[in-house]
Amino acid sequence: AIPTALQVASGTGARLGVFIKSHQAMESARTVDTVVLDKTGTLTHGRMSVVDLTTAEGVRPDDVLRYVGAVENASEHAIAAAIADRARAECGELPPVDAFTALAGLGARGTVEDRRILVGSARLLDREGVTVPPPLDRARAGWESEGRTVVLAAADGAVLGALALADTIKPSAADAVARLHAMGLRTLLLTGDNAATAHAVAARVGIDDVIAEVLPADKAAVITRLQADGHRVAMVGDGINDAPALARADLGLAVVEGTDVAMAAADLILIRDDLDVVPTAITLARGTLATIR
Ligand code: ADP
Ligand code: MG
């Protein structure tokens, strides 16, 4: 009887938009009480674009774009692609970068035209002892409260400017979160982005709690901590940096347009670009077990 029920689940799953990789995880879904959702690429489309730019006194916007674009050109982050594209559109061919270093979850650095360029979060600049002038800091805070991702840039230790990047929230996100809540599940947003941006996005989709500014290496530890507190955790993610958390979760759900690494680590793959599949998948898993028992 068990294989039959599971075959039914597989068939129903495919029809509803879920590919069931691990039938064992269906068992876990029955007791899940917390759903952790990644922000970029999971709740949002993950296609960023530069929507605003402000410079430090005496700095030309084109210089900020050229320096930052040159560094980001060597990076593989979604933020980097958006900035490099914009820089090329405005400045033409970008200068080469030397000594490029990606700083996971924080930004990147490199030397461009003999200047040491640092690009990334406010936290990164703070860590590197770079002081952000008050007008730029106010711009950053304003953008973050609107849910923008903010990237700051410095050259030789002095701030050059700040860029605001926009991403779009998936239209299905708020509904999916409401359904999860109706099922008695707690929702939690997990991101490497800063707390203000994360809270703005969480508020728009109705998510209960936020864990922000989590370095890629620490995402899985957040899941472990929730489990240690007695929770049974489902994690929904798309990125390389979500893979360890997806593997650690009692139930890992990967978005199909996500990275191969995330899909390899997950138990369920959401085959439609629609977050509604998340509550559906958990309902399906619960139902399958009800049938088996
Ligand atoms: P997420 O959890 O949204 O996938 P990451 O952990 O990859 O985010 O990055 C966290 C933060 O680090 C970003 O919001 C950004 O502020 C900064 N960051 C990371 N990589 C870059 C980059 N290449 N350029 C600028 N900022 C970056
Ligand atoms: Mg992501």
Convert the pLDDT of each residue in 165-217 to its tens digit. 999 999 999 999 999 999 999 999 999 999 999 999 999 999 989 999 999 88
Q: What is the amino acid identity at position 88?
A: R
Beta bridge partners of 44: 169
Residue 157: what are its φ and ψ, rounded to 5°?
85, 0
Q: Where do you find CATH 3.40.50.1000 in the chain?
A: 2-45+169-292
CA nearest neighbour of 13 among 283, 292, 289, 291 = 283
Tell me the pLDDT band of 283, cut-offs 50, 70 and 90: confident
Mutate to test the pocket of ligand 1, among 37, 193, 197, 201 (most ligand atoms within 8 A of CB): 193
Look at residue 122 and give its three-state secondary structure.
Answer: helix
CATH architecture observed for domain 2-45+169-292? 3-Layer(aba) Sandwich (3.40)
Which residue out of 33, 38, 63, 260 is catalytically annotated?
38
User: What CATH superfamily is the domain 49-166?
Assistant: Calcium-transporting ATPase, cytoplasmic domain N (3.40.1110.10)
Tell me the pLDDT band of 218, cut-offs 50, 70 and 90: very high
CA nearest neighbour of 30 among 289, 273, 291, 281 = 289
197 lines ligand 1 (CB under 6 A): no
80 CA to centre of ligand 1 in angstroms: 9
Site of tokens 């191969």: 260
151 lines ligand 1 (CB under 6 A): yes
Look at residue 106 and give its three-state secondary structure.
Answer: coil
161 lines ligand 1 (CB under 6 A): no
Q: Where do you find CATH 3.40.1110.10 in the chain?
A: 49-166
237 lines ligand 1 (CB under 6 A): no
Is this prediction's ipTM beyond 0.85? yes
* CA–CA dist 281, 271 (Å, integer): 11
Q: What is the dihedral angle through the alpha carbons of 285, 223, 255, 39, rounded to the nearest 10 degrees?
A: 130
- Between 26-35, 73-82, 149-158, 247-256, the lowest mean confidence (pLDDT) is in 26-35
Task: Give 69-87 as a DSSP string.
Answer: HHHHTT--SHHHHHHHHHH
43 CA to centre of ligand 1 in angstroms: 16
- Give the pLDDT of residue 28: 80
Q: Is 273 a catalytic residue?
A: no
Q: Whose CA is nearest to atom 24 of ligand 1?
A: 107
